Chains A and B, each alone.
Chain A
Amino acid sequence: MSKHAIDLTLNGQRRSAGVEARTSLADYLRLDAGCTGVHLGCEHGVCGACTVTVDGRAVRSCLMLAVQADGCAVTTVEGLAAPDGTFHPVQQAMREAHGLQCGFCTPGVLMTFAALTGGEARASEEELVSAMSGHVCRCTGYQGIRRAARALAEGTVGAGAGAAE
């Protein structure tokens, strides 16, 4: 069993750590880095609750080893809001559209939407909805999440349109 030194950027901050080879990125983020917003529903790639972004792409952190994230930029739900607490547009959209109930699936959904709509990315509503196949939500029936996706794609977040229907 080997141990490895890793350096990564987590939510904008440089971090170094020593990890066992078998430690998943999810466990490293939760147990070592304290990012408990990374939720673990299944630990084998089925539920999507553990989704984070690695170098800007949405990935399942239970299906990646921490050592594989060496040199990468990782963002978790903790890294979405501004330092003063202002919501990221994806958070605002989910709030307006009532896209969550218990919130267990939510951090994963937020990270997928953030990867697909943040920065240069401009996913269509259809692309966002199709990416939702990678998430299981046991509460909402997905309709609120769908409305959030529409608001994000149409750029109407904050316009008060999300909750209508």
Chain B
Amino acid sequence: MKPAPFDYERPASIAEACRILSEAGGGATVLAGGQTLMPLLNLRMSQPFILVDIGRIAALQGVSRGGDGTRIGAMTRQADALADPLLAAHLPALVTALGHVGHHQTRNRGTVGGSVALGEPAAEMPAAAVALGAMLELTSVRGTRKVPADGFYIGPYMTALEPDELLTAVTYPDWPEGHLVLFREVARRPGDFALVGMVGAAVVEEGIVTRAGLAWFGMGPTPIRMRQLEAALVGAALAGLDAHALAALGVADSAPFDDHHASAEYRRTVGRRILARSLREAFALKETA
């Protein structure tokens, strides 16, 4: 239960961190908040040669607003994001999801970027990034590229992040004031990874849904965007919405599996129910089934 030995580097700048990652040729692991990495180190499931602690890089901290939305520096602690007034005003769906990430004590260390970069399929942050249309900023000695969250996730803990790249920020596009927040998850205990969960946002103008972004977590090898549901929602009149049918459409874009926590069938059933309930709540629909 003690980590295997490793070297430790604490770069003071993004450039220095990228240089270390580049020179390590894949032998380095980035330490952000450590709330997932430290257990893996302690259990020796991860044995890096070099640990690159990005915790003291000031440029990776904090929330700011720009032309393309709200930008969260990768090292921003989940607890700080949860209490951030800019996020409360502009990204209520993200704040709701953040409240379900781990526990108070782990949110004090855990970071937004760490969770987004790791790609745990049952975690809230990757799914929220996909649902809300976030752009990820990946930096290396080769330069900076922007990758949409939708497309970043390849499999469980597998992402488009190259070994020499560092996730430096996540930018969430603006959703208009008063947009609807959809969030539900089912977990055995508060703070556990969800068995099934869904997160998203929607915009309604004069009785018509004009924009929707929704994604599952715990419903497949990656967070999964509910494309068919989004397509069915956008342009539809609230009056004609059938939560039950829409939820079935949502589940059509999922790929749950059996594991020792729950069966795929359970996940599909519960997923359909929480999605239907969430749609009914958000759009104030009547109970149909």
A residues engaging B (CB < 8 A)? 1-2, 4, 20-22, 24, 27, 43-45, 48, 51, 57-60, 62-65, 67-68, 112, 116, 130-131, 133-134
Inter-chain contact B104/A134, CB cutoff 8 Å: yes
* Beta-carbon contact of B38 and A131 below 8 Å: no
Most buried by A among B2, B106, B108, B191: B108
Given contacts A45-B106, A51-B105, A62-B42, contact A134 B5 (CB under 8 A): no
Determine whether the beta carbon of A57 is less than 8 Å from that of B5.
no
Selected contact of A131 from candidates B1, B31, B43, B103, CB within 8 Å: B103
CA distance A22 to B34 in the complex (A): 13
Residue of A at shortest CB range from B108? Answer: A57
Specify which of B10, B43, B109 is in contact with A44 (CB 8 Å cutoff): B43
Question: Is B4 engaged at the interface, CB distance under 8 Å to the other chain?
Answer: yes
Residue of B nearest to A48 (CB): B105
CB distance from B32 to the nearest CB of A (A): 11
In angstroms, Cα B107 to Cα A58, docked, is 10
Residues of B in contact with A (beta carbons under 8 Å apart):
1-8, 10, 31, 34-35, 38-39, 41-43, 51, 53, 55, 79, 102-106, 108-109, 189-191
How many inter-chain contacts with C-beta < 8 Å in the A-B complex? Answer: 93
* Alpha-carbon separation in the docked complex, A29 to B109 (Å): 18
In the bound complex, do residue A44 and residue B55 qualify as a contact, i.e. CB atoms below 8 Å apart?
no
Do residues A2 and B7 form an inter-chain contact, with CB atoms below 8 A? yes
* Chain A neighbourhood of B38, CB < 8 A: 24, 44-45, 62-65
B55: contacting residue among A27, A59, A68, CB under 8 A: A68
Residues of A within 8 A of B39 (CB): 44-45, 63
A67 — which chain B residues lie within 8 A by C-beta?
Answer: 8, 10, 53
Which of these, A21, A62, A68, A112, contacts B5 with CB under 8 Å? A21
Residues on B with beta carbons closer than 8 Å to the beta carbon of A64: 34, 38, 109
Residues B109 and A63 in contact, CB atoms below 8 Å apart: yes
- The 4 A-B residue pairs with the shortest CB-CB distance, nearest first, are A134-B103, A1-B5, A21-B8, A44-B39
**Are A63 and B8 in touch, CB under 8 angstroms?**
no
Q: In the complex, are the beta carbons of A20 and B105 less than 8 A apart? A: no
A133 touches B103 (CB 8 A): yes
Within the assembled complex, what's the spacing in Å between the Cα atoms of A162 and B189?
27
CA distance A48 to B34 in the complex (A): 15
Contacts of B53 in A (CB 8 A): 65, 67-68
Contact B1 A133 (CB under 8 A): no
- A-B contacts, 18 of them at CB < 8 A, read A1-B7, A2-B6, A20-B5, A21-B51, A22-B4, A24-B38, A43-B42, A57-B108, A60-B109, A62-B38, A63-B34, A63-B38, A63-B109, A67-B8, A68-B55, A112-B104, A134-B103, A134-B105
Identify the closest chain B residue to A19 (Cβ). Answer: B8
